[in-house]
A and B are shown apart, each in its own frame.
Chain A
Amino acid sequence: MTGRPPPKEERDLDRWVQEATEGWRMPPLTQDRDPLAGTDRQ
């Protein structure tokens, strides 16, 4: 079966996944982790 779950179940999962993944955040940048390292920044 590949159907979507009932709306309440879907909403519960939305809320739980939101909570559980809130702390998954990019750590602060350091000099060796610059998003544009190697792009000849002006």
Chain B
Amino acid sequence: MNDMQDGARHRDIEAAYSSYADDVYRLAYAILHDRDDAADATQETFVRAFHRWDRYDPDRPLRPWLHTIVSRVAFDQLRRRRVRWLAMPVLAERSAMSSEDAYAGRDPGSSVPRRQAIEEALEGLAPVARAAVLLRHRYGYEYTEIAGFLGISVSNVGAVLTRARARLRAQLDDAPVMQEERA
């Protein structure tokens, strides 16, 4: 790659970062459930995107391409974290303590108690389920796309989402703020 191409690529990636860093971070966070790890995964995603930029088809939307990369990066990170925890259980304890402030970057705009109830319900899901819920209900991806991102079959996406929705609904049905809203 010559200097001119390299410069153009940096500009493209910086523009992609400005537009999609939060979208990439959200999927990383859904999978890793740790702010620092999600930020690291987001950074790694854009580095990989930089190196693979010639494989990106500019006629296709960029966000799904970035979501494919970050999903791989975050699941790899999750596997490495589990191996570390198996090797050194004390790390797992420290991580559990530090995750208490995991939602410090909350949006102050919407109904806080309801949002907290939903966040807590999401927190109870497994990483794959949390990622599938985010991809479907925030980004509106089709099941086939979600299957591609998460490396599972389409029928498995359906099963994961069905279980996740049932669990969210059960937990939210018990939350006082949701009962008040329905009253």
What is A's interface to B at a CB cutoff of 8 Å?
Answer: 1-5, 9-10, 13-14, 16-27, 33-42
Question: What is the interface of chain A mostly: helix, strand, loop, or mixed?
Answer: loop
- Let me know if B47 and A17 touch, CB within 8 A: no
Flag whether B6 is at the interface (Cβ < 8 A).
yes
Flag whether B3 is at the interface (Cβ < 8 A).
yes
Tell which of B105, B122, B133 touches A27, judged by Cβ atoms closer than 8 Å: B105
Tell which of A1, A16, A23, A24 touches B162, judged by Cβ atoms closer than 8 Å: A1
**Shortest Cβ gap from A24 to chain B (Å):** 5
What is B's interface to A at a CB cutoff of 8 Å?
Answer: 3, 6-7, 10, 13-14, 17, 21-22, 24-26, 29-30, 35, 38-40, 42-43, 46-47, 50-51, 103, 105-107, 109-111, 114-115, 118-119, 122, 133-134, 137-138, 140, 155, 158-159, 161-162, 165, 168-169, 172
Q: B4 — nearest CB in chain A belongs to which residue?
A: A42
A16 to B121, CA, bound (A): 11
- Let me know if B107 and A36 touch, CB within 8 A: no
- Let me know if A17 and B25 touch, CB within 8 A: no
- Let me know if A27 and B39 touch, CB within 8 A: yes
**Shortest Cβ gap from B126 to chain A (Å):** 16
